[in-house]
Chains A and B, each alone.
Chain A
Amino acid sequence: MGEVLRHALAIAGKDLRLEFRSRTAFLSALVFTALVLAIFQFARDPTAVSAVDLAPGILWITFSFAGLLGLNRAFALERENRALDGLLLSPASRTALYLGKVLANLVFVGLVEAIALPLFAIFFNVPVLGVLGPLVAVIALATIGFVAVGTLMSSIAVSTRFAELMLPVLMLPFLMPPITAAVQMTARIFAGRPFSEIIGWLKLLVAYDVAFLVVCILVFEHTIEE
């Protein structure tokens, strides 16, 4: 168990070192996120609906797009020089490989979200500071589910034709439950609703995260073993 974690950390560390050396993917994801947020501002009628009503939806659609961008890199970077074979040759278990990739993706997507959130608060004048704790918790939970499934899907998508198109097609049905839960919870958090209104969605999200993490770990090896 400890070995799995050690290997996963080594793999995640390697991914993040490569990623932040080149920075292209990260900066692109950031700029893209800012752009999406800006476009949303002009994609609505400011007199008809207040920003706070639409805000949760906007936030989560933005996060989804940014996340999808980030997910593709994870296995794409193993294609150069067939580095994936090097990983498979090593004693590292397939589970360690999956977890390492999930960790690296979590850091990547998490950083994009951490920068996008203040931007969102500024653009739409949404008071997030007061509810930062619960909000971050919701973001973390939804991101875990999203990244767990997305990492697995990217492992499949990377070896198909049209990989960049394939990943969203595979992912989007799986995003419906966590995004729905996240938006509902975010809306209630902004509106200061009591916890009892949130707990149902919270349970759904946690159940989703646990169920999919477990199943993804179980089936991951079939996406890479020949």
Chain B
Amino acid sequence: MTAIETAELSLRRSRALMVAALALLAAVYVRALAFTPVEATQGPAQKIFYVHVPSAWVAFLAFAVVGVCSVLYLIFKEPRLDRIAAASAEVGVVFTTGVLLTGPIWAKPIWGAWWTWDARLSSTLFLWFLYFAYLVLRTAVQEQGQRARYSAVLGILGALLVPFIHLSVQMFRTLHPQAVVLNPEGPTLPGSMLATLLFSLAVMTLLYTGLVWHRYAQAERDEARAERAADDAR
């Protein structure tokens, strides 16, 4: 099979995975809305937790993938690793944006403020800036090899930065007690809530995988087409 055909097969398969994941996501919503008990103190608004928390998990997972692929790329110089990192970053920033949007939607009815500098949300905000820097850097470099190298360096430094941001935020937070006593996650999770959360987590991860695969396959196909065009021109 030619390179383009392989890429297009990947595209079809990943599209199927995405559709499946989205269908499962719909199932998660149904379960969360209809079949999971309403949280006592926070009310129905709390249900956004089932989307918010798994999205945050995926957002950080995606950057971890970027970091790992970056290290591997600098060792092996394999362009596929760079493609995975790029795809993961593009999907990761979407999930991160999702977290930053659902945060306020949850916060407003419960705490009365659109934004709180809660530890996790603050870390996620800086994660978003990191993704932004990574993606902007990629657009600012034309040559493939150089772009991959620079992205990998930024990916590694960024992955190293995340724990420091976490620590800084935590240390900062302990000085400024939360305005509200409520713990955003709910005290302990009773069985069915935990089940919904885990289900959502699994589906989000599946969705992430499908999306990354799809972006990767798109990049693969575009590069194969560019090479075919370059070959034809010669």
| Cβ-defined contact, A160 with B156, below 8 A | no
Collect the chain B residues with CB atoms within 8 Å of residue A170's CB.
133, 137, 154
Collect the chain A residues with CB atoms within 8 Å of residue B156's CB.
215, 219
| Cβ-defined contact, A200 with B171, below 8 A | yes
Which residue in chain B gives the minimum CB-CB distance to A145? B164
Stretch of A79-87, A89-97, A174-182 that contacts chain B: A174-182
The listed residue (A160, A207, A219) touching B74 by CB distance below 8 A is A219
Count how many chain A residues have C-beta atoms less than 8 Å from C-beta atoms of the other chain: 31
Stretch of B4-12, B97-105, B138-146 that contacts chain A: B138-146
| Cβ-defined contact, B160 with A177, below 8 A | no
Number of A-B contacts (CB under 8 A): 77
Would you call the interface of chain B mostly helix, strand, loop, or mixed? helix
Collect the chain B residues with CB atoms within 8 Å of residue A223's CB.
149-150, 153
| Cβ-defined contact, A222 with B157, below 8 A | no
Kindly state whether residue B165 has any CB partner on chain A within 8 Å: yes
In the assembly, what is the distance between CA of A170 and CA of B158, in Å? Answer: 10
The proximity string for B residues 117-147 relative to A, scoring 1 for CB distances below 8 Å and 0 otherwise, is 0000000001001101100110011000110
In the assembly, what is the distance between CA of A67 and CA of B22, in Å? Answer: 47
Stretch of A68-76, A130-138, A161-169 that contacts chain B: A161-169
Which residue in chain A gives the minimum CB-CB distance to B167? A204
| Cβ-defined contact, A159 with B136, below 8 A | no
| Cβ-defined contact, B153 with A177, below 8 A | no
| Cβ-defined contact, A156 with B150, below 8 A | yes
If the complex has contacts A156-B150, A222-B153, are A177 and B129 also in contact, measured as CB distance less than 8 A? no
Q: Closest 8 CB pairs between A and B? A: A160-B140, A177-B164, A177-B168, A173-B129, A180-B168, A173-B130, A219-B153, A222-B149
- Which A residues form the contact surface with B (CB < 8 A)? 149, 152, 156, 159-162, 166, 169-170, 172-174, 176-177, 180-181, 184, 200-201, 204, 207-208, 211-212, 215-216, 219, 222-223, 226
- Which B residues form the contact surface with A (CB < 8 A)? 74, 126, 129-130, 132-133, 136-137, 140-141, 145-146, 149-150, 152-154, 156-158, 160-161, 164-165, 167-168, 171-172
Provide 23 A-B residue pairs closer than 8 Å at the C-beta atoms, listed in order of the A residue.
A156-B137, A156-B153, A156-B154, A159-B141, A160-B137, A170-B133, A172-B133, A173-B158, A173-B165, A174-B157, A174-B161, A177-B164, A177-B168, A181-B168, A184-B172, A201-B171, A204-B164, A207-B164, A215-B156, A215-B157, A215-B160, A216-B157, A226-B146
Known: A166-B136, A173-B165. 5 other contacts (CB 8 A): A156-B137, A160-B141, A174-B157, A211-B164, A223-B153
